Amino acid sequence: MKYSKIFIGIVFLAALVCGGLFIFNLPHGVVSYAESLEPSDRALLEKTFEGQKFKNDLTFSSETVQKIDGDELVAEIEVPVVDFYYHGEPKYVSIGDLDSSLRLVDLGGENYLDNFNSGANFRIIKVESANAEEKKQAEDQVRAALPTFPSRDSVLTINQTGVTALARGIQTKLNQVGDGAYFAEKIQDLLSSSDLTHISNEVSFADDCTTDSGSTVLCADNRVFDSIKAIGTDIVELTGNHNVDVGKNAALDTLKLYRDQGLLTFGGGSDAEDAKTPLELNQKGNKITWLGYNLSTTKAGGGGATATLPGANLYDEATAKEQIKAAKARGDFVIVDVQYYECYCYPEAGFVEYETCDYPINAGESDWPEQEAFFKHLIDLGADLVVGTQAHQPQTFELYRDKPIYYGLGNLFFDQTYWPGTERSLILTHYFWNGRLLQTVVTPTIYDEALQTAPMSDADATAFLARLTKWAK
């Protein structure tokens, strides 16, 4: 009996050992890599799954598509671009190489940065397995190993616009139509679609914008604030020199209106100290300092903030140096907006124009008479983007030291229909990602005697941008 128990124990132990050997030597699935994989993708996958074993066969492959639904394993995104001046045939670059020196163009009528699931070539990794659980496990590991691309949650979009002056003829039209939002009807969808929308409003609001003689002055009827709301305004630049045209109280009341409505302001204020305060943004991982200066009123007088009066932030070289330096020390992206001198170049009669004002101008008597030199000087001080918001007609743009300069954006809302150039503007749509300017899309606009601003047709926009960039170096 004793030996029988020993024998049974030996047999049982042998069975366990043999069973264990059988268990640990079960055949494993084969991990295979299709020839469609890029070498870099295969190397990443081999590193990710090194030493791992699966019960079922696992196959990795890849393909390139032009639309995704958001669940795909995206290994690379290539987008079509032209150069900064919209010249040349489109070529494809990795989304990681996209920056503000290139212009993203549509693919199949879609812009990648507007929807993030089309408008590009997407190289995706595909996983195949007979076992759903193992397939999901492998997909999760691949997703964690792949690079992070721009997305709606990480890209900050800002629409920046030119002159807003809802005054004079706007008042007459308002009295005809009776709708304060009328002027924004054809542009509001575009402008309100971004995370933030900027305007440079040059006039204050008041209940009555007529003089004793019945003429209108440069102020805005309170009712047209509905147009500002309709375009989704978030940021109001106050570098213009007409915000005090109807007096201190109207300027202060307008400033209060903005702030009561939750709008951010910069480039002007209740006094000189308030006016020079930078606008600091920190959204979606992007830190931006936005500065606004008025150069044109520094010498000419009128419209500039003082120790006791509201108005525009007058340009001061020492202050500009200090503010730009401090912002760069914080690691911020720095935008500088300038209210430079205006340019008009039209014959005395006829609805025709010359191209002189398309390009940087010479302002005559000034500390900085040459617009080009002054704007480039701000880049030399450390600005990452310089924009002229003074121009009543659009001006050219260029790269200087790999930094963009837009010399003038023209009139977004105004009554100047007596010259063709003043009916136009440029909307800049900036896309920021990981603290850098990934892209700026330029959209030309136009209005006529109906005073409703609208995007130009594609053909007109292409021709107009070609005209503006003839000056490009």
Long-range (24+ apart) CB contacts under 8 A made by 35-43 are 36/61, 36/62, 36/63, 37/61, 37/62, 37/125, 38/62, 38/75, 38/76, 38/123, 41/75, 41/123, 41/125
| CA atoms within a 13 Å half-sphere pointing along the CA-CB vector of 166 | 25
Are the C-beta atoms of residues 279 and 289 closer than 8 Å to each other?
Answer: yes
Q: Over its length of 473 residues, how does the chain's per-residue pLDDT go in tens digits?
A: 555 555 555 444 444 444 443 334 446 789 999 999 999 999 999 999 998 989 999 999 999 999 999 899 999 999 999 999 999 999 999 999 999 999 999 999 999 999 999 999 999 999 999 999 999 999 999 999 999 999 999 999 999 999 999 999 999 999 999 999 999 999 999 999 999 999 999 999 988 776 555 556 799 999 999 999 999 999 999 999 899 998 899 999 999 999 999 999 999 999 999 999 999 999 999 999 999 999 988 766 679 999 999 999 999 999 999 999 999 999 999 999 999 998 877 777 678 788 889 999 998 777 889 999 999 999 999 999 999 998 999 999 999 999 999 999 999 999 999 889 999 999 999 999 999 999 999 999 999 999 999 999 999 999 999 999 998 76
Predicted local distance difference test score (pLDDT) of residue 16: 44
Angle at 221 between CA 215 and CA 222, to 5 degrees: 160
| Per-residue pLDDT at 23 | 38
CATH topology of domain 155-471: Purple Acid Phosphatase; chain A, domain 2 (3.60.21)
Report the distance separating Cα 255 and Cα 447, nearest Å. Answer: 28
Closest alpha carbon to 277 in 305, 258, 299: 305
Q: Where are the domains of the chain?
A: 31-145, 155-471
